[in-house]
Amino acid sequence: MAKGKSVYICSECGYEAGKWLGKCPSCGSWGTLSEEAAPAPTVQKRTPARTAPSRAPQILKDVETARFARFSSGSRELDRVLGGGLVQGSIVLVGGDPGIGKSTLLLQTCGYVSKTEPVLYISAEESAHQIKSRADRLACREENVLLLTETDMDEICAALAAHRPRLAIVASSQTVDAPYLSSAPGTVSQVRECASRLMRLAKEENITVLVVGHVTKEGTLAGPKVLEHIVDTVMYFEGEKNSAFRVLRANKNRFGSTNEIGVFEMTEKGMTDVDNPSEIFLSQRSEPVPGTATMCSMEGTRPVLVEIQALTGASGFGNPRRVGSGVDYNRMVTLLAVLEKRLGYALYNQDVYVNIAGGLRIDEPALDLPLIAAVASAFRNKPLPPQTVFLGEVGLTGELRAVSGARQRVEECARAGVKTVVLPKGNKRGLAPVEGVKLSFAEHVFGALSFLEREKP
């Protein structure tokens, strides 16, 4: 029997090759090409070229936007991440580690929307009894919730077209399959085809579709990157399983701002909104301790106070350790070099550990100054002034550069009872005073940390 033809497809970008390659020529990833059966060639009859388009173009000002109106999901934090609520006819991808609360939050959303509109919950992973037991625990017993346990994409699309619900949940994108493809569920071709069909159906029938996505061991969504390009919104759950708090972050949103976060607390009754995230990200100690600094991070449109913790200690090896949790490792190493070169801190024989309290990850430049302040405080074993917030981007020469959203950050500090905010001098222009907060401006990192420099390190 002749062996069927096969192709090798990259699981990261979807690149197709005729033979196995160790490195993907398109995205440069190693070991991501997997073998799949090549689709059977189809013979298409040649048709004459059209002389006129089948659909006439529309004038932009005449396009109606009421069809894509928003409706609430029942959760203030989820609505914030989505940009104001669920958009009709959109497709949203929700990813996260197993057991972090994806299905719980989506089932709660079903219970709220079903009070006024029909909802269809499609599960390709769990049985109907498992979903019913979770719904009873969450007090979700609305009669408008329809449940379908199916893996066949043809059956799923037929159910969506027949019932036309306001909201549809599909769990998950890696377990459904199109029967006309010979590849196994979860492969690149299956994930791409199923996501494309759901997207087309959502736009044609004006159905809002929430799709659950699995993640890899690196924490990224499983499947090709084209999956994230197809959907309208991509949201990730962050947080540690041992903690009761969860952070939902929007990495892509065609209808709102990206990097917006929503904070939830996992309780016996499901996921509950956290109205003031600054309280859970800040420690409740009564007196300051060495190695801690506070900053105000802009997560989308929301300012959040977070604590940066640092620890230094003499290294017993020739190559000291550099460990960072919640921060970019390369940026952390660069800032340690600035601290050593510009301020004279002898860190070449010190192990340095940096952590963002609460499991939050911060990538913005305003983290530079508070990170340096925390490490300097830990190295000198001297606490920073109490009720003080540090903000600023640090250059390689030690200069401080202005940060965006200074007004919103300072106002959040005032609401939290902060007394002093240390800012780059570049933010002085146009920043009006805020009652109850002293603004301290500095041009160089040395001036921002002058209270630690009374004695030579």
Return the CATH number at 184.
3.40.50.300
Q: Do 369 and 258 fall within a single domain? A: no
Q: Which tens digit of pLDDT belongs to each residue from 277-327?
A: 888 888 666 678 999 999 999 988 889 999 999 999 998 888 899 999 999
* 134/211 Cα distance (integer angstroms): 18
Residue 62, pLDDT score: 80
Q: Which tens digit of pLDDT belongs to each residue from 258-291?
A: 888 999 998 888 899 998 888 888 866 667 899 9
Q: Do 267 and 119 fall within a single domain? A: yes
> Does residue 284 lie within any of the structural domains?
yes
Q: Which tens digit of pLDDT belongs to each residue from 3-12?
A: 567 888 887 7
Question: What sign does the dihedral 159-164-165-171 (CA atoms) show?
Answer: positive
**Looking at per-residue confidence, does 415 or 223 come out higher?**
415
Q: Which tens digit of pLDDT belongs to each residue from 82-116?
A: 999 999 999 999 998 888 889 899 999 999 999 99
What is the average pLDDT across 330-356?
A: 94
Q: Do 321 and 253 fall within a single domain? A: no
Residue 234, pLDDT score: 93
Q: Please, is 432 exposed, middle or buried when counting C-beta atoms within 10 Å of its C-beta (0-12, 13-18, 19+)?
A: exposed
> Does residue 46 lie within any of the structural domains?
no
In terms of pTM, does the model score above 0.85?
no
Q: Do 216 and 255 fall within a single domain? A: yes
Alpha helices of 120-246 — where are they, by DSSP H?
Answer: 128-137, 153-163, 188-205, 226-230
**E strand map for 331-392:** 350-356, 388-390
The answer to whether the peptide bond before residue 172 is cis (omega within 30 degrees of 0) is: yes
147-156, 357-366, 388-397: which range is least confident on average? Answer: 357-366
Evaluate if residue 217 carries a pLDDT over 70: no
**Structural domains counted in the chain:** 3
> Does residue 1 lie within any of the structural domains?
no
Residue 303, pLDDT score: 92
State which residues form the domain around 223: 68-275
